[in-house]
Every structure is written in structure tokens, then in C-alpha cells.
Amino acid sequence: MSHPALNQTPAPPATRTDPSALAARVPLQLVGPDGRLTEAGHLRGVDVDLARRLYRDMVLARALDREAVALQRQGELSLWLQCEGQEAAQVGSVHALADRDHIFPSYREHAVGLVRGLTPAELLAQWRGIAHAGWDPAEHHLHFNSLVLGTQTLHAVGYALGCRLDGDDSVTVVYFGDGAASQGDVNEAFNWAATMALPVLFVCQNNQWAISTPTSKQFGTSLHDRAAGFGLRSWWVDGNDALAVHAVTTEAVESVRRGQGPALVEAETYRIGGHSTSDDPKRYRTDEELDAWRRRDPLARLRTALTDLGVEAAWFDTVDADGRELAARTRAECQALAGPDLRDLFAEVYADPHPVERERASYEAHLELTGRGR
């Protein structure tokens, strides 16, 4: 595997976007909303094993998500950011990566985390208020959540630069939302990755809303077109079609891995729930809009396609049972999650010895004095 030298000007990106055909373009779709294969779907054919894996992981993600919402309503979680509706965009894309490809998520990528082997406890810890980061990024090649929008895109660029310097052909993948794309950091990241032709894949889940702000107020040109303008290869896909997301992400990752520079996948999707459990989406979007997107539900769609391909009902029953089992496990693990002791935190701020560790003594003295020591 050879890597272009850092300061060498990369070859102009072979972009997939053709500005003259803007209005006519539609995102790639392999399975239509009704579950029938599209023309492109027929042409490409369906890998049934892959489709089953994607379907099963989407069911699990939805089960976790719904259970987490219930846990929040019961006071077990202080907040939850729903990912219902975005399962295909997440599961389809993460399955297109190699295990060693390092991922930088935003904060809604619960399905990505599940696929990468995170436990429900790890995924829920932050929202239960017992940790800021619930898992070991090295173990799963998955960095922890970034809550300041867009910041993680730059971390991904640096990580990818590190991979390049190490002569490692892994791809760094970063997830962010349509709203985050308005942040300076994201645009710095696009530009930086393009000028250095770095092995980064940007995945934008365009779920139409940034809390209450629609994409129409967010940007004047589509994100995949903007990315192309920065010199990224870009793909546009129906984000509720897991097979299409998988196909497109596979192409994009291969292109990045081959050294053709950074790429962007914009997955057009929708969040069915509120922005978070504290949000009231009724204030800014209509029932008609919600219903229209419910009819494009990624799970129902793939289930129909799989049924048409001959997958028997009993298989769906076992998958549903796996979902219920995960939900039960989510509940049990959540309730067992206990917070850290403030005393532990003093030693975790700095790697080298630091006087802050002495402040622990003053906290302990306070505990002693107030009789809260035990």
C-alpha cells in the first residue's frame, strides 16, 4: 500500500456530483419504500445473508432505543437521544467498514455502537449521568461521543493523518449531522482532508432537522455538492435503505482505502422521535411529514424485501425475540449502573502527577466533617 506524500498535491477528485444535473438527481435506492427492489436493486442483486445481518442489527438497535426512551420516562436515564428511523443509515454504513477502521461518532450513533460490540451499559452510561464517555475507544475502534457539534470531524482528520504517517491503510470514519455541517470545524475538516488527500470518510446522516431547524435553514446547497466543492468524492443515498447505504459506503470506503482521497456519504433519513427525550417535535413539524417518513421505515422496508426473497416468517420471529431479549438486558444493565465516586476523579484529569490530586484530601475532609464519609 503506497501513500501519496503529505505535501504532494492530490489528483483532482473524481467527484460523483454533476452540478448541471442537480435538480434531476435522486439519492441511490436499491429497495423502494414499499419494499420492492428498484431498477438499481435488480441490477445489483441482493446478498441475502448481508440483508439479514443488516435487518437483525436494525431490529436490535430499535429495541435498545425504545427501551432507553422508556427508561428515561421512568427516571432511570436523565436524557436519551433517539435514533429510531436512522437505523439503516447507521447499520448500513458501519457494516461496510473493516473492524480496524476507526470511527468518530457524534452522539446519536447507538446502532453503530451496538454493531461495534458495545454493551447496553456502555451505551447508556453517559445518559444516566455516571460518565462522560462510557467505553474504551481503543477496544472497539470507536471514539466516545462528541457533544460539541462537528468537533469530532477534526479529530478524525488528525487520526487519519496519523494512520497515513504510520503507513496503515485503515480508513477513519466520522459521523455528523446536517446541523453540524454548518459548523466551521466541519468545513475546516473537509478542506484539510482534501488538501492532504487523507483517508477519511465523512458520513452525514441528514435527518432533516437540527433540533427545530430544518435543513432549508441550514444550508443553501446540498451537503454532497458542498463536499464535492471542497474536493471530496461524494455519494448521496437513501438513508432509510440499508442495502443502498451499505453499497454506497462500501464504494466510498474502497475509494478512500485505495488512496483516492477523502469521501463523503450523505444519507437522507429522518429521526422519528424527538431530538432528545426533552424535545417536543410537535412544535416544529407536522403529523403529515412524520407519517410520510414512517411510510419509509427502514425496518419494514427491508422486512418486505427479505420476505419477497423467501425468508420465512419464523426467522423474523427469532429476530424479534432477540430484540426483546436485548431490551430486557438493556433495562437490567441500566439499573445496575452505579456512578463513580467523586474521589476517583481527582486522579483521572492528568496523566502526569498534578497538584489537583491533593484537592481530593480537602474533599475527603469535608466528607469526614459532614459524616458522609461512608
Partner 1 sequence: MAVLPLGKALNLAMRRSLAEDDRVVVLGEDIGTLGGVFRVTDGLAAEFGPDRVIDTPLAESGIVGTAIGLALRGFRPVCEIQFDGFVYPAFDQIVSQLAKMRARSRGRVRLPVVIRIPAGGGIGAVEHHSESNEAYFAHTAGLRVVSCSNPQDGYRLLRAAIRSDDPVVFFEPKRAYWDKGEVDLEASPASLDRALVLRKGRDCTLIAHGPSVKVALAAAEAAEEDGVSVGVVDLRSISPLDVETLQRCVAETGRAVVVHEASTFLGIGAEIAAVVTEGCFRELKAPVQRVGAYQLPYPPAHVEDAFLPDVDRVLLGIDRSLSFGRTAAHV
Residue 41 CB contacts under 8 Å (≥ 6 apart), including other chains: 29, 30, 31, 32, 243
Q: Does 331 bind partner 1 (CB under 8 A)?
A: no
Handedness of CA 48, 52, 53, 55 (dihedral sign): positive
Q: Considering the rule CB under 6 A, would residue 112 count as an interface residue with ligand TPP? A: no
Among 95, 102, 108, 116, binds ligand TPP (CB under 6 A): 108
Least CB distance from residue 140 to ligand TPP, whole Å?
21
Tell me how many residues contact partner 1 (CB under 8 A).
Answer: 47
Helix (H) or strand (E) segment spanning residue 173: strand 172-177
5 binds partner 1 (CB under 8 A): yes
Separation of alpha carbons 286 and 146, rounded Å: 30
- Contacts of residue 294, defined as CB under 8 A and 6 or more positions apart, other chains included, come to 272
Q: Which of 1, 336, 351, 369 binds partner 1 (CB under 8 A)?
A: 351
Q: Which does 189 bind (CB under 5 to 8 A by kind): ligand TPP, partner 1, none?
A: partner 1
Q: Does 46 bind ligand TPP (CB under 6 A)?
A: no
Residue 9 gets which letter from DSSP? P
Within 13 Å, how many C-alpha atoms sit on residue 290's CB side?
Answer: 12
Q: Name the residue type at position 195.
A: T
Q: Is 258 in the site for partner 1 (CB under 8 A)?
A: no
Contact (CB, 8 A) for 51 and 208: no
Q: Kindly state the smallest distance separating residue 316's Cβ from partner 1, in Å.
A: 39
Question: With contact defined as beta carbons under 8 Å apart, do 294 and 272 qualify?
Answer: yes
Which of ligand TPP, partner 1, none sits in contact with 373, Cβ below 5 to 8 A by type? none
Q: Is the dihedral of CA 312, 313, 316, 321 positive or negative?
A: negative
The residue from 5, 11, 133, 147 that contacts ligand TPP (CB under 6 A) is 147
Q: Secondary structure of the chain: what % helix, strand, coil (to 5)?
A: 50, 10, 40
Q: Say if CB 106 and CB 143 are below 8 A apart.
A: no
How many residues bind ligand TPP (CB under 6 A)? The answer is 13
**207 binds ligand TPP per the rule CB under 6 A:** yes
180 counts as binding ligand TPP under rule CB under 6 A: yes
Least Cα distance to 279 among 41, 93, 80 occurs for: 80
Question: Of 178 and 266, which has the nearer Cβ to ligand TPP?
Answer: 178
Q: Which of 295, 313, 233 is nearest to 15 (CA)?
A: 233
Q: How many CB atoms lie within 10 A of CB 246?
A: 24
341 scored as a contact of partner 1 (CB under 8 A): no
Q: Give catalytic residue positions.
A: 271, 275, 284
The cell for 283 is 412544535
Of 2, 7, 20, 216, the residue at the interface with partner 1 (CB under 8 A) is 7
Q: Hey, which residues between 181 and 210 contact partner 1 (CB under 8 A)?
A: 184-185, 188-189, 191-192, 195
Per-residue contact string for residues 27-66; x = within reach of partner 1 by CB under 8 A: ----------------------------------------
The residues of the shown chain that bind ligand TPP, judged by CB under 6 A, are 108, 147-149, 177-180, 207, 209-211, 275
The residues of the shown chain that bind partner 1, judged by CB under 8 A, are 5-7, 131-133, 136-138, 143-144, 146, 148, 151, 153-163, 165-166, 172, 184-185, 188-189, 191-192, 195, 340, 344-345, 347-352, 354-356
